[in-house]
Amino acid sequence: MSASGAEGQALHAVPEVATEKQTIAQAVRDAMLEEMERDERVIVLGEDVGVDGGVFRATDGLIERFGAERVIDTPLAESAIIGMSVGLAATGFRPIAEIQFMGFVYPAINQLFAHAARMRNRTRGTLSCPMVVRMPYGGGIHPPEHHSESYEALFLNTPGFKVVVPSNPYDAKGLLISAIRDDDPVLFMEPKRVYRAFREAVPAEAYTVPLGRAAVAREGTDVTLIAWGAMVRVCLDASEVLAREDINAEVVDLRTLNPLDRETIISSVVKTGRAVVVHEAPRTGGFGAEISAQIHEHAMLQLEAPVQRVAGFDVVFPLAHNEKLYLPSRDRIVKAVEKVLAF
Amino acid sequence: MPRTRVYEAVTERLEILDTEGRVDDALMPEIDTSRIRDLYRDMVLMRTFDEKALKLQRQGRMGTWPPIKGQEAVQAGVALAMGENDWLIPAFREHGIMVLRGVPLHLVYAYWAGDERGSSFPEDVRCFPVAVPVGSQWQHGAGVGLSLKLRGEDAVAVTFGGDGSTSEGDFHEAVNCAGVFGAKTVFVIQNNQWAISIPLHKQTAAETLAQKAHAYGLPGIQVDGNDVFAVFTAAVEAIERARRGDGPSLIEAVTYRLGDHTTADDASRYRGEEEVEKWEARDPIIRLRRYLDHQGLWDDDQETILREEAQSWVDAQIKVLEEMPPQEPEEMFTSMYAAMPPHVAEQMGELIQETRS
């Protein structure tokens, strides 16, 4: 099934411009290419982003086009990638830093939390860090240890960042362009599980998808499924199963986690009266808890059942053998929906 | 299959001005006598505002203050070597050079008294805010140096840190990356011997901190950090090298923290009075005063005038500080993002309502 495939409805209006069927990885690359063409302050840095074109090929061909001064292969040092980006961003560049896998972001946490997120506030706007940190995240590709994590909750409890997670190629390009043009640090989490899982029509030129706006990926009336990144497709999949039981699920693709589009969430829940939040990260302290709290704060009287969470377990992300057992599945989502409907 | 030497390095130490105020004429840099007097004034000014901050702290008019007493020569010497457009990336014991680079003293005081506006510098002051997480600023120094190189700007980045910060991974990543990229960066270590209670020999098994530069392919030099002429000479060499595009370098300035780590610390818990007295005899200000005396460049009348001027300038800055209007509660929120997101606006509204009801 493609996101705009036969069974589902199109996630967005088909643009009336030249398009190309692209994967998320290609759309991400094109977003950087367009912005580097447009704005010479935009540079790319990270491990293997140059000659190799990135381990997921997300920076493929950029070094040939823009040279080694704008597509910078760095030493293997995550803290330096972010710390130097702070120095670059505060003095006029717009760096796009790649952390090869989100599981490797820990050495850079000090630079992200103590500096990138705080620079504007602590200098009262005199200096800022307009930078994008691209991080492939999430499970589902049978990788070695530390290659499957979803750490969004860490960053959502740290004011100063914007946190963006596309679920499809069209949004990936438009959101990344918005992120690059944004004047604040944006953490751009790329769902590597669906990097190349499907193609969809993506306009050849630059366009933006606004940050802070969710999308209704599927309209429905009985229950609201709230998800982001790779989990959106699992929710769409579950909706098809539910549809066969005459259960009409609405799927809200958050796209941006901070700032959160509360309005879209609440208006959907007000309509359906039921909500299930789905994410890969462990359940306890996950962003699902925040969404559930906000729904209770703003729509409690419209709720027909307590909000349910379908999330990763509170365990270490397992190695390849048990990966499927860990990740929220179509069936788990269907069961959670049945539970809120039966309440 | 022989066993051969593949790399050898020699780490130099530079001293020009001794504790009696005598200089090594062969090494003495060319500096106008008026500039030498300025160096002395700068150092006295630093000492004056540092001591004043301690007094303010005891009176409850200042927050926790990290004193710079004893480290004035490092900061004055490097400042004199810097060009107008150069960037300063400080750690948190660099108030002296920050003020010399144009950060208004009342803002330095404001920051340490608990007001974020103290890190909002005038636009033409090329200086990063204080970096408290130890060693993290080295990375920004490398990044700014790379930025200046990529833009082809005729400016360099000068970044400071202490001896303790050389044990942090960020120091090694920053120096390594600056070397790889040929960043226009000068790393200045203020080796003041103590990282709170940990003496240098517990910080590293290495003989010097300067030699660490060699492992990353950079020149590294140790200087007597209480000798303003040695600091200036090494800083000029390093800054000119970076400016020419010949890459980064590292200076270890061996000095001593005559005061406590901060006003919240009591250094007598971990170091003896004898050691402090030994270093008081090497005071960088006394040493330069002796030099000026030998050269007939200074007298007691000038000294009296300088001390009075310094004091009244500092007092005037305190007046500016204390006349700053208090921050509005919403200032906590207004600089979080370029454009305020709805949830932040909502929370700001809650606080405003709370403070005005």
DSSP state of B184: S
User: Nearest CA of chain A to the CA of B201: how many Å?
Assistant: 26
User: What DSSP state is assigned to residue B152?
Assistant: T
Which two tokens mark A118? 């705080």
d(C-alpha B291, C-alpha A246), whole Å: 93
Q: How confident is the model at residue A9 (pLDDT cuts 50, 70, 90)?
A: very low
Q: What percent of chain B has pLDDT over 90?
A: 99
pLDDT at A1: 33
The residue annotated as part of the active site, out of B101, B140, B241, B261, is: B261
Instruction: State the average pLDDT for chain A.
Output: 95
Catalytic one of B47, B257, B287, B289: B257
Give contacts of B 186-205 with A, CB under 8 A: none
Question: Are residues B221 and B306 part of one domain?
Answer: yes
Does the distance separating the beta carbons of B173 and A80 come in below 8 Å?
yes
- Quote the pLDDT of residue A292: 98
| pLDDT given for residue B124 in this prediction | 96
Q: What would the CATH number be for the domain defined by A215-342?
A: 3.40.50.920
What's the pLDDT score for residue A7?
Answer: 37
Identify whether residues B207 and B332 lie together within a single domain. no
User: In chain B, whose CA is at the least distance from the CA of A94?
Assistant: B147
| Residue pairs spanning A and B at CB distance below 8 A | 136
> Is B134 in a helix, a strand, or coil?
coil
CB within 8 Å: B136 and A85: no
B151 contacts chain A (CB < 8 A): yes
Q: Calculate how close chain B gets to A94, using CA atoms only, in Å.
A: 11
Whether residue B242 has pLDDT greater than 50: yes
The mean pLDDT of B2-15, rounded to a whole number, is 96
pLDDT confidence of residue B61: 95
B334 with B268, same domain: the answer is: no
State yes or no: pLDDT of A177 exceeds 50.
yes
pLDDT digits (tens, 9 = 90+) for B118-152: 999 999 999 999 999 999 999 999 999 999 999 99
Q: How many residues does chain B have?
A: 357
Note whether B265 and B334 are same-domain residues. Answer: no
Q: What is the pLDDT of residue A14?
A: 54
Whether residue B226 sits in one domain with residue B344: no
Cross-chain residue pair B116–A121, CB shorter than 8 Å:
yes
The three-class DSSP label of residue A95 is strand
Closest chain B residue to the Cα of A185, Cα to Cα: B337
Beta pairing class for B185-191 and B194-195: unpaired
A19-203 placed in CATH 3.40.640.10: no
Residue-by-residue DSSP string for B48-71: HHHHHHHHHHHTTSS------TT-
CA distance B210 to chain A (A): 21
Give residue-wise pLDDT tens across range A184-227. Answer: 999 999 999 999 999 999 999 999 999 999 999 999 999 999 99
Burial A232-265 (b: 16+ CB within 10 A, else e): bbbbbbbbeebeeeebebbbbbbbbbbbbbbebb
In a domain, B7, yes or no: no
Q: Verify that B213 and B197 share a domain, yes or no.
A: yes
Q: What is the mean pLDDT of residues A315-329?
A: 96
pLDDT for residue A13? 57
Which of A74, A123, A127 has the CB atom closest to B177's CB atom?
A: A74
pLDDT at A16: 64
A19-203 and A215-342 in the same fold: yes
* Average pLDDT for B259-265: 96
Whether B249 and B339 share a structural domain: no
Instruction: Let me know if residue B42 belongs to a domain.
Output: yes
- Position A17 pLDDT exceeds 80: no
Would you say residue B292 lies in a domain? yes
Same domain flag for B169 and B204: yes
B 106-135 residues inside an 8 A Cβ radius of A: 116-117, 119-121, 123, 128-129, 131-133
Partner residue facing B119 (CB), from A72, A85, A123: A123
Kindly state whether residues B107 and B250 are assigned to the same domain: yes
Asked whether the beta carbons of residue B142 and residue A90 sit closer than 8 angstroms, the reply is no
Selected residues 36-75 of chain A with any CB under 8 Å from a CB in chain B: 43, 69, 72, 74-75
Pick the closest to residue A343 from A181, A223, A199 (CA basis): A223
CA dist B247 → A69, A144, B98, B137 (Å) = 16, 38, 24, 19
Interchain proximity A91–B144, CB inside 8 Å = yes
By DSSP bridging, strand A71-73 and strand A42-46 are parallel
For residues B295 and B348, membership in a common domain is answered with: no
Query: Is B136 near chain A, with CB under 8 Å?
Result: yes
User: Is residue A5 very low, low, confident or very high in pLDDT (cuts 50, 70, 90)?
Assistant: very low
A308 has a chain B CB within 8 A of its CB: no
Tell me how far apart the alpha carbons of residues B204 and B182 are, in angstroms, rounded to a whole number. Answer: 26
Is pLDDT at A20 greater than 70 in this prediction? yes
Express each pLDDT in A227-256 by its tens digit: 999 999 999 999 999 999 999 999 999 999
What number is the average pLDDT over the span B287-300?
97
Where do the domains of chain A lie? 19-203, 215-342
* Residue A8 clears pLDDT 50, i.e. is over it: no
Nearest to B99 by CA among B162, B143, B53: B53
Give the catalytic positions of A in this structure.
Answer: 147
| pLDDT at A3 exceeding the cut of 60 | no
Residue in chain B closest to A69 (alpha carbons) equals B150
* CATH of residue B28: 3.40.50.970
- Report the C-alpha gap between B77 and A25 in whole angstroms: 51
User: What number is the average pLDDT over the span A75-81?
Assistant: 98
As for how many domains chain B has, the answer is 2
Same-domain check for residues B158 and B103: yes
Is B3 a domain residue? Answer: no
Parent domain of B285: 12-326
Predicted ipTM of the assembly: 0.95
| Residue B335 lies inside a defined structural domain of this protein | yes
Same domain, B211 and B341: no
pLDDT over 70 percentage in chain B:
100
**Which of B22, B58, B244, B270 is flagged as catalytic?**
B270
Contact between chains at B342 and A93 (C-beta distance less than 8 A): no
Q: Indicate the pLDDT class of residue A128, thresholds 50, 70 and 90.
A: very high
B 331-350 → A contacts, CB under 8 A: 331, 335-339, 341-344
- Asked if the structure places residue B154 within a domain, the reply is yes
Across B319-339, average pLDDT: 96
State the average pLDDT over residues B279-296: 98
Residues 73-102 of B with CB under 8 A from A: 87, 89
- Mutation to test the B interface, candidates A84, A111, A257, most B Cβ within 10 Å: A84
User: Using one digit for the tens of pLDDT, what is the confidence trace for B59-73?
Assistant: 999 999 999 999 999
For chain B positions 275-334, those within 8 Å of chain A (CB to CB) are: 331
A213 with A122: CB under 8 angstroms? Answer: no
pTM as predicted: 0.95
Supply the pLDDT for residue A11: 54
Instruction: Give the per-residue pLDDT at A12.
Output: 59
Chain B interface test: which of A121, A127, A178 (most B C-beta within 10 Å): A121
**Residue A342, both tokens:** 């039966």
The predicted structure's pLDDT at residue A15: 56
Spacing of C-alpha A100 from chain mean position: 15
